[in-house]
């Protein structure tokens, strides 16, 4: 492709060899596209829907821009490799499909501005990250139908992640950074989620609410520790399992009423004036937190409509017993030290 112009440039922009003469038709979903050092440093605009089988931008110093969709993948393997010196500001759908094999995404530190959309229909292939992947688009990554995706142990940073129907997502040892608001995580009940040893972090510090729909799955570690007063709503009529859930103040967290969240470890630590507020989605109806053993000791927490159970010890220090709590021991502070007074225990299950 030449240095500047519209991706759909007719016979004016494309050639069959690096630095070769123009004169070739626009690429189709069956073509491999290369941008390299001979492609210049200008801007190529995706002004209308475009497609290619694979993309390689190694050595390219220009920009892929535009607001229309670009689709990758076809009946054979089509990898994506971005050049470390290029910019990807195209903000339309960044659509991936695969009919066969394992396709790879290598970004070389380049952020993708488009909304990443896995749209597989009846395809049976998969995509795999081969380094860290960051999308700056304001919409979540969407996994549809039969899509299969493996983060391969690398960091994935996005506004959020949502699914439809029955995709398969494998997280391995990856760090998943969710930095947006609104629907951050929405896993369909029909999806397969392999959490492995991953860590999911919710990092937005604004006062805007966030929704996390867990889909009745098993998770490794999840944290809501970045501060900000926006409510984080763990929604949906599902029971979910975590290794460790970590909350830090100031933060308001709401669990689904009449549902059980099961943990190996539950951590919630606010500070004076920066409480972690925990309640239920329906006032007067408790949400259940369960742990089979050990001690879960939280500090500077405001609790309402929370049932703590499962066999573990649940204690709350420097904390507020609002109403509707059972199974919690609220510790009393006396003379600068923490003591437990049977006369002042509240909500002991």
Averaged pLDDT for residues 283-310: 97
pLDDT score for 5 = 85
**Nearest-10 Cα torsion for 320, 325, 328, 332:** 30
Res 169 pLDDT > 50: yes
pLDDT, residue 332, reads 67
Those residues whose C-beta lies under 8 Å from the C-beta of residue 273, and which sit 6 or more positions away, are none
Work out the mean pLDDT of the chain and round it to a whole number. Answer: 90
CA 195 from chain centre, in angstroms, equals 12
Please state the rounded mean pLDDT for residues 158-187: 95
What gap in Å lies between CA 127 and CA 54, rounded to an integer?
12
Q: Is 73 exposed, middle or buried (0-12, 13-18, 19+ CB in 10 A)?
A: buried
**pLDDT tens column, 193-227:** 999 999 999 999 999 999 999 999 999 999 998 88
**pLDDT for position 334:** 43
**What does the pLDDT average to over 255-270?**
97
* pLDDT of 2: 52
How far is Cα 279 from Cα 323, in angstroms, rounded to an integer? 10
Q: Is the peptide bond before 250 cis (omega within 30 degrees of 0)?
A: yes
Q: How far from the centroid of its chain's Cα atoms is residue 152's Cα?
A: 15
Looking at residue 342, its pLDDT comes to 29
Q: What angle do CA 85, 65, 203 make, to 5 degrees?
A: 75
pLDDT in tens, 105-143: 999 999 999 999 987 665 667 899 999 999 999 999 999
The pLDDT value given to residue 78: 80
pLDDT, one tens digit per residue, over 177-194 is 999 999 999 999 899 999
Q: 237 or 146, which is more confident?
A: 237
> Looking at the predicted structure, is the pLDDT value of residue 345 above 50?
no
> What local confidence, expressed as pLDDT, does residue 121 receive?
60
pLDDT, tens only, 314-342: 999 999 999 999 999 999 654 444 433 22
Q: Would you state the torsion angle of the CA atoms of residues 109, 158, 137, 41, taken in this order, to the nearest 10 degrees?
A: 0
């Amino acid at each position: 492709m030449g240095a500047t112009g519209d991706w759909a440039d007719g016979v004016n922009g494309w050639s069959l060899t690096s630095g070769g003469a123009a004169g070739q038709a626009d690429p189709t979903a069956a073509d491999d596209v290369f941008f390299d050092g001979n492609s210049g440093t200008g801007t190529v605009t995706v002004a209308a829907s475009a497609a290619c089988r694979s993309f390689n931008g190694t050595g390219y110093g220009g920009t892929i821009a535009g607001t229309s969709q670009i689709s990758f993948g076809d009946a054979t393997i089509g990898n994506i490799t971005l050049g470390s010196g290029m910019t990807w500001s195209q903000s339309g759908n960044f659509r991936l499909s695969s009919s066969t094999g394992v396709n790879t995404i290598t970004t070389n530190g380049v952020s993708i501005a488009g909304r990443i959309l896995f749209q597989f229909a009846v395809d049976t292939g998969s995509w795999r990250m081969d380094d860290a992947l960051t999308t700056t688009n304001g919409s979540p990554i969407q996994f549809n139908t039969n899509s299969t995706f493996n983060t391969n142990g690398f960091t994935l940073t996005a506004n959020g992640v949502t699914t439809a129907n029955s995709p398969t997502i494998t997280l391995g040892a990856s760090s998943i950074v969710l930095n947006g608001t609104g629907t951050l995580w929405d896993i369909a009940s029909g999806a397969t989620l392999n959490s492995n040893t991953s860590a999911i972090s919710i990092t937005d510090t604004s006062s805007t609410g966030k929704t996390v729909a867990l889909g009745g799955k098993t998770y490794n570690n999840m944290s809501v520790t970045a501060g900000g007063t926006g409510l984080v709503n763990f929604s949906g009529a599902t029971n979910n399992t975590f290794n460790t859930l970590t909350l830090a103040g100031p933060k308001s967290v709401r669990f689904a009423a009449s549902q059980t969240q099961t943990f190996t470890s539950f951590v919630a630590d606010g500070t004076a004036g920066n409480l972690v507020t925990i309640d239920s989605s329906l006032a007067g109806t408790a949400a259940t937190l369960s742990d089979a053993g050990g001690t879960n000791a939280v500090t500077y927490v405001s609790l309402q409509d929370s049932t703590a159970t499962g066999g573990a010890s649940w204690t709350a220090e420097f904390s507020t017993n609002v109403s509707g709590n059972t199974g919690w021991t609220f510790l009393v502070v006396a003379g600068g030290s923490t003591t437990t007074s049977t006369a002042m225990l509240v909500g002991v299950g």
